[in-house]
Structure 1
Amino acid sequence: MTLNKTLVQMSTDIETARNKSDFSTESMYYLLRGGPKAIEQLDYFRNLTQNDPVFNKSEVPFLNRQEQLQKALQISKRLIELMQEQDMNESQCAALIEHIDFALPVTLHFKAFMPVIKNQGTPKQVDKWYNAARKCAIIGCYAQTELSHGSNVMGLKTEAVYDQNSDEFIIHTPDITAAKWWVGGLGVACTHAVVQAQLLIGAKSFGPHLFIVPIRSPIDLEPFKGITVGDIGPKAYGGFATSDNGFVLFDKVRIPRDNMLMKFSQVTRDGKYIAPVHSKMSYGSMVKIRVDLVEEAGWRLGKAVTIAVRYCTVRRQFQAPESKLDNSNLETQVISYSSVKHRLMSLLSTAYALIVSSEAMYTKFNTLTKQLEVNNATMLPEVHATSCALKSWSTRHSADGMEECRKAMGGHGFSVFSGVSELFAIFVPSNTYEGDNFVLSQQVARFLLKQLNDMSKGKQLTSTTEYLNTLTEEPTDSFKFENPYEQILDPRIQLKVFGRRTARLVASLDKQLKSGRAWSDLNVECWAVSTAHAEYFILQEMIRKVEAVRPVAEYAKLADTLKAVSDLFCLFTLNYSSSSTFLSTFTIHPSDLDMLNGQYRTILAKVANNAIPLTDSFGFTDFELNTALGKKDGRAYEHFWDVVQKNPVNSKAENVKLRKLVLDILHRGNTLKVSKL
């Protein structure tokens, strides 16, 4: 087959775009990935996995559900072997799981089961259970959600009744609505579960607590007496097909009292309940998972944007009027159309912003963890609320952004071989797990209302809510720009505008609540408040990142590029994604929008000129992207053709089976003869 000029041009187009970079992609790669040591570990993982056939995902789209589960268990087995062969520590094990980026039956063993035991267990419990889990002598999961309850943890129905006579808890499912549901790893793999259950001592309930419950024997994987367990089946969009999300029913299952995780709250031998220092001490583990989701949202969106930007750079469609002037007879690169730049560059800035914001949240979480170790919960409300806001915002925008990337790629984006559809299918449920996003927004709003009340009493605000002080500065006027086009690039003004908008939304919510409106009637207002709080935090961290790199020799030349990405996030949020709340709070005057939008178009063009270098800076390998259309060399159509040829449906053996059925349709009732063909 002759290689035509279109195919040749694709490689030329992507290299031309790559060579336009006005910054060092290598330096940006190091900055985003955390520096030389982090890159060294990443390369170490790549060397371990990318040449190992067990980790090859190319066959997965052609497998049925049972075969996909088998594949996932093969990968799980090899991962655990590598962890033990390489004597990896805890953080390396978790990082390797993240690097594989595959929904596995053991993912939550490492990401939830082990961390919860470590963070919520006593030293004795950690020594027993955590060390066994570390060796994978047991495989665990985290069982919270029930058939009838998810976000409402206080409403969980699974019971843990203390029997003082035997010094045991009786774990019981009163009816099927209390069946644990959606639990990753529980379907076929797990031997143990950390179970959220209502603690009952006598006739008194002390609310949900955590218990380690044996599910299956590690010897033969047979369920223990009183346990009914299984897999809940296929999920939407074919997502998480390689994960055995499961259910479990408990029929008066007895466990020792010591199986209750008792770092913060305890039940004594004589049935006395000892409450934790702070009622929400157990929230620390949930905060960690939500911060993980913010980081995951950024990197997964980064993958989707990388694929879409590369494909739209090499894909040419139509001839724009201005392109006819170059006499090349080439169709126009899709990436050059304003609608495509508007859609993809905003998502590129969002991916960068989420990666940077997650770094800041990890810093806060690590400080919080140290405080919790000494029973100091001072930071817990602030970090909990902000992690809720960011989890809600990031999962929503990342999942929606992946779908937008697919649509920007045109018809081919719908193929599984684009790589984007799989990213979406796996990440979209994050909008509802670890807390439904709309429910989480109410927790954010409650925290901010308390902060507003504290401010009115002269108390000091937290570092993430200092913007509430703007309510004392022209509380109802629009921000007065002298020159919106120029001033909106001033980071101080950006934060002033975003802070004033958020503060006014909080004040409005407070006013409506005091006017008599029921809390249940204010869900939409809570969503707006949570969204604004998240956007203020994200913008603030992007601005801080730019300021932080300027004085650092190895990264200083990246500052202007990062500033443009930060400005794009700011202007897109202000002009498009959240413009309604800037206008409804009278933070921005409508007459300023034209000039603000003019600056948006200027910054959009600047970022678009660096689109390929900025996506290259994420540092994804072709193996990690798992795409035919978004490979680094730009040869999308050739790669797409090659992967389709591997489709088993095109094999002779499969084709014969299908052909027989088609012939049965064609030859029914001698239709060919009757039709006189």
Structure 2
Amino acid sequence: MSSGISELDQMALDIEEARRQTTFPVELMTYYLHQGKQNTEKQREFQRILLKEPLFEQATYTFLSRDERLYRSTNAAKRLLELSNEHGWNDEDREDFQNRIGTGNPLTLHFQAFVPVINTIGTPEQSRKWIGAVKRHAVLGCYAQTELAHGSNVLALKTTATFDRITDEFVINTPDLTAAKWLIGGLGVACTHAVVQAQLILAGKSRGPHLFIVPIRSIEDHKPMKGVTVGDIGPKAYGGFATVDNGYAMFDNVRIPRENMLMRFSHVTREGLYIPPIHDKLSYGSMVRIRVDIVKSGGWQLAKAVIIAIRYCTIRRQFGGQPASPSSGNKATLETQVMSYSGVQHRLLPLLSLAYGCIVTGQDLARDYGELMDGLAKGETENLPQLHVSSCALKVWCTRRGADGIEECRKALGGHGYSIFSGIADIFAIFVPANTYEGDNYVLSQQVGRYILKQLQGVIKNGKVPSPTVSYLETLLDGTDNPFVFGGPDASVLNHDVLLTLFGRRAARLAVDLAKQLESGRPWSDVNMECWNICLAHAEYAVLKQMISRSALLESSSEYAPLANVIRQLTNLYALSTICETSTATFLSTLTIAPADLGAIQAHYRATLANIAPNAIGLTDAFDFTDFELNSALGVKNGRAYEALWAAVQNNPINTEEGRQKFQNAVKKITNVNDNIEFSKTSKL
């Protein structure tokens, strides 16, 4: 460039120029996203600790084999426990720190599943016994539900727990290979015990799946217990979860005390009498917890990918020409910033709003779950069904939209997105399996469909007020099936009451359509896609409702009022991009929106994109991830992506002198034949 400013320096100037365009206080937004200044400072203290701990540095894992990664992460798990003791962290602190690391380890499911399940499903006495052992690190656990031939169909699990009245024991048995526990995180190399989901057999009769604590390995020498066959299942797709020991186990008549059955809600007496739970869905509590965690983390995983993509597209210039920014002192004509192209904005900015929506919805879902568990402890079960359905629907929506969004971010990086150093490949590999674990998404959508149909029948046949989760069904009582009529300020597509009405009507009409399909004789097995559409519509309504509620609260907040306008814009962008991009078909097929109105809605959508664009970098900075946590050469905060990418590549063992020599020797075995050395000299090659 004739002005003397290099292209590399221009990249740094571009991202700082983008930051200066921000119209809201970024630090305040960070406080808001992390639920207060105090919690933000706690998260930043975790960041400072992370920077001092080489075992947690993701970049150092890049060139390791899978078993090397797993061994290193096992040591990292040990270091995590040491840090927890050194700093006096509680369970929430340790979980927050683990989440900032970004990758799992052999103890991740110990804390996320084994411990919560015992606390949720075990009696107070059982909890004291086992959690006491957990705190001493004498017991390391996992949650063993999935089997080789059964995952989503929990009722068909084949592992058995047969009660022996004579010895007062349960006999845990794997009847055949298809019943082997499979894909269980923490089982491959680490755990000493497992919470095992098995069919409870009393006097030859099955009472359905129940949970039992089963010893897997000796606490003394860590060798498998008698009758237990256990191991690691090997590498997973895309290299994902390489630091987690997903394992298998088979049980050959393994005996455990009767007290090892988790008995908070149902139990077996010494005489073999079965006492059922007061509610047949109480065992869902532990699964709800895991799905809530998936939704909570999903927004932050998508946020990482969005940060990387928006930062890189801000400093990447391709085609066209425009004067350099006056503030840079550069008078040369530059290529166009990729982020300024409308196609890129259409791809990335809705994902930014999606991340915000998922984060705030996950926070509120976690709050509701906490209230549910407090109620269950008092025997209050009325909120369990609707929270179960909410967690199912939001898990489906979050994982599907999140995984698609992360991959879209990778593609927006162009060819460099395929490099492991972009950081997005690892995010995708870790997040995408959430579409199938803790309930396959398509199976969960059927549970959502069933619940909504049951609520629909109450509204239509009895005029019964539906549960708050599906309050949108009340829109059916107005008796209209015509498209919404726009016009005037109170019926504008940017009116939040209007948007909520549109999303509610669409969900309600999809439920009515499903009911009609079944009434016409279509079997339940043939309406899976209708359930899928209902599930996504239900979740999209729930997220919009939450974002609108947050937006309204901000406007009257003494602390966060300066954020109200940009959060309102993000809410609009989420809603309009859903209507115009991801879910257009169902808004049209249900006649919620007339086709003739779609053009005007799209115009509002484009205008909203334009309003958000200047704040893109500020909104991503507000997530407050460090370069250490992002582990991305392309998404470095200072904008010097190419320098970071070059430096990362130099760490490749192939580029060392030893590596070059190794490959030189291998290639010479191909070229140094047939007198090729002499041939090259005479032919002047």
On whether the aligned pair clears a TM of 0.5, the verdict is: yes
The one-letter code sitting in structure 1 at the alignment partner of 2:388 is H
Whether 2:377 is the aligned partner of 1:370: answer no
Aligned to 1:553: 558
Whether 2:387 is the aligned partner of 1:398: answer no
The one-letter code sitting in structure 2 at the alignment partner of 1:658 is F
Aligned to 1:296: 297
Whether 2:60 is the aligned partner of 1:62: answer no
Does structure 1 conserve the Cα–Cα contact (< 8 Å) formed by 2:288 and 2:391?
Answer: yes
Shift of the alpha carbon at 1:656?
1.2
Shift of the alpha carbon at 1:90?
2.1
Whether 2:523 is the aligned partner of 1:518: answer yes
The one-letter code sitting in structure 2 at the alignment partner of 1:377 is T
Does structure 2 conserve the Cα–Cα contact (< 8 Å) formed by 1:139 and 1:190?
Answer: yes
Shift of the alpha carbon at 1:389?
0.3
Q: Structure 2 CA distance, aligned partners of 1:586 and 1:611?
A: 34
Shift of the alpha carbon at 1:551?
1.2
Q: Structure 1 CA distance, aligned partners of 2:675 and 2:357?
A: 65
Shift of the alpha carbon at 1:598?
0.3
Does structure 2 conserve the Cα–Cα contact (< 8 Å) formed by 1:187 and 1:230?
Answer: yes
**Alignment counterpart, residue 606 of structure 1, candidates 596, 611, 614:** 611
Q: Which moved more, 1:360-369 or 1:478-487?
A: 478-487
Q: Structure 2 CA distance, aligned partners of 1:542 and 1:43?
A: 26
Does structure 2 conserve the Cα–Cα contact (< 8 Å) formed by 1:73 and 1:104?
Answer: yes
Does structure 1 conserve the Cα–Cα contact (< 8 Å) formed by 2:196 and 2:213?
Answer: yes
- What is the alpha-carbon root mean square deviation over aligned residues? 1.8
Aligned to 1:139: 140
Q: Structure 2 CA distance, aligned partners of 1:409 and 1:486?
A: 39
Identical pairs, percent: 52
Shift of the alpha carbon at 1:241?
0.8
Shift of the alpha carbon at 1:138?
1.2
Name the TM-score, length of structure 2 as normaliser: 0.96
Task: Specify the SS of the correspondent of 2:458.
Answer: helix
CA shift digits 1:627-663 (9 cap, x unpaired): 1110110000111111111111111112211211111
CA shift digits 1:169-209 (9 cap, x unpaired): 01000011000000001111111100000000121100000
Q: Structure 1 CA distance, aligned partners of 2:321 and 2:595?
A: 33
Q: Structure 2 CA distance, aligned partners of 1:550 and 1:186?
A: 49
Q: Structure 2 CA distance, aligned partners of 1:172 and 1:124?
A: 26
Aligned to 2:634: 629
Q: Which moved more, 1:82-91 or 1:160-169?
A: 82-91
Aligned to 1:438: 442
Q: How does 1:420-499 map to 2 (within 5 A)?
A: 420-455=424-459, 456-482=461-487, 487-499=492-504
Task: Specify the SS of the correspondent of 1:145.
Answer: coil
Q: How does 1:137-216 map to 2 (within 5 A)?
A: 137-216=138-217
Shift of the alpha carbon at 1:367?
1.6
| 1:369/1:272 CA distance change after superposition, 3 Å | same
Does structure 2 conserve the Cα–Cα contact (< 8 Å) formed by 1:484 and 1:596?
Answer: no
Does structure 2 conserve the Cα–Cα contact (< 8 Å) formed by 1:194 and 1:210?
Answer: yes
Task: Specify the SS of the correspondent of 2:149.
Answer: coil
Shift of the alpha carbon at 1:105?
0.4
Q: Structure 1 CA distance, aligned partners of 2:97 and 2:353?
A: 27
**Alignment counterpart, residue 408 of structure 1, candidates 409, 412, 437:** 412
Task: Specify the SS of the correspondent of 1:59.
Answer: helix
Task: Specify the SS of the correspondent of 2:367.
Answer: helix
The one-letter code sitting in structure 2 at the alignment partner of 1:18 is R
Shift of the alpha carbon at 1:671?
4.4
Q: Structure 2 CA distance, aligned partners of 1:481 and 1:122?
A: 56
The one-letter code sitting in structure 1 at the alignment partner of 2:399 is T
The one-letter code sitting in structure 1 at the alignment partner of 2:458 is D
Q: Structure 1 CA distance, aligned partners of 2:325 and 2:19?
A: 24
CA shift digits 1:394-424 (9 cap, x unpaired): 0011111111000001011111111111000
Shift of the alpha carbon at 1:323?
9.5
| 1:323/1:588 CA distance change after superposition, 3 Å | farther
Aligned length: 676
Aligned to 1:328: 332
Q: Structure 2 CA distance, aligned partners of 1:35 and 1:435?
A: 33
**Alignment counterpart, residue 659 of structure 1, candidates 661, 664, 671:** 664
Shift of the alpha carbon at 1:47?
2.7
Does structure 2 conserve the Cα–Cα contact (< 8 Å) formed by 1:200 and 1:206?
Answer: yes
Aligned to 2:12: 11
Aligned to 1:586: 591
Structure 2 residue runs of 5 or longer lacking an equivalent are: none
Aligned to 1:318: 319
Task: Specify the SS of the correspondent of 1:196.
Answer: strand
Does structure 2 conserve the Cα–Cα contact (< 8 Å) formed by 1:323 and 1:332?
Answer: no
Task: Specify the SS of the correspondent of 2:603.
Answer: helix
Shift of the alpha carbon at 1:672?
5.0
Does structure 2 conserve the Cα–Cα contact (< 8 Å) formed by 1:93 and 1:110?
Answer: no
Q: Structure 2 CA distance, aligned partners of 1:432 and 1:42?
A: 30
Does structure 2 conserve the Cα–Cα contact (< 8 Å) formed by 1:7 and 1:635?
Answer: yes
Shift of the alpha carbon at 1:484?
9.2
Aligned to 1:91: 92
Q: Structure 2 CA distance, aligned partners of 1:271 and 1:443?
A: 33
Q: Structure 2 CA distance, aligned partners of 1:227 and 1:674?
A: 64
The one-letter code sitting in structure 2 at the alignment partner of 1:556 is A
Q: Structure 2 CA distance, aligned partners of 1:535 and 1:333?
A: 32
Shift of the alpha carbon at 1:321?
8.5
Does structure 2 conserve the Cα–Cα contact (< 8 Å) formed by 1:103 and 1:243?
Answer: yes
Shift of the alpha carbon at 1:459?
2.4
Shift of the alpha carbon at 1:554?
1.8
**Alignment counterpart, residue 510 of structure 2, candidates 505, 513, 522:** 505
Q: Which moved more, 1:227-236 or 1:648-657?
A: 648-657
Q: Where does structure 1 differ by over 3 angstroms across 4 or more consecutive aligned residues? A: 320-328, 483-486, 668-677
Q: Structure 2 CA distance, aligned partners of 1:646 and 1:484?
A: 59
Task: Specify the SS of the correspondent of 1:97.
Answer: helix
Q: Which moved more, 1:613-622 or 1:94-103?
A: 94-103
Shift of the alpha carbon at 1:376?
1.6
Task: Specify the SS of the correspondent of 1:193.
Answer: strand
Shift of the alpha carbon at 1:57?
2.0
**Alignment counterpart, residue 616 of structure 1, candidates 621, 640, 653:** 621
Aligned to 1:245: 246
Whether 2:387 is the aligned partner of 1:386: answer no
Q: Structure 2 CA distance, aligned partners of 1:321 and 1:515?
A: 61
Q: Structure 2 CA distance, aligned partners of 1:355 and 1:24?
A: 19
Q: Structure 2 CA distance, aligned partners of 1:518 and 1:335?
A: 48
Structure 1 residue runs of 5 or longer lacking an equivalent are: none
Q: Structure 2 CA distance, aligned partners of 1:670 and 1:76?
A: 56
Q: Structure 2 CA distance, aligned partners of 1:630 and 1:669?
A: 49
Shift of the alpha carbon at 1:96?
2.1
Q: Structure 2 CA distance, aligned partners of 1:260 and 1:110?
A: 19
Does structure 2 conserve the Cα–Cα contact (< 8 Å) formed by 1:311 and 1:636?
Answer: yes
Does structure 1 conserve the Cα–Cα contact (< 8 Å) formed by 2:323 and 2:334?
Answer: no
| 1:200/1:459 CA distance change after superposition, 3 Å | same
Task: Specify the SS of the correspondent of 2:333.
Answer: coil
Aligned to 1:48: 49
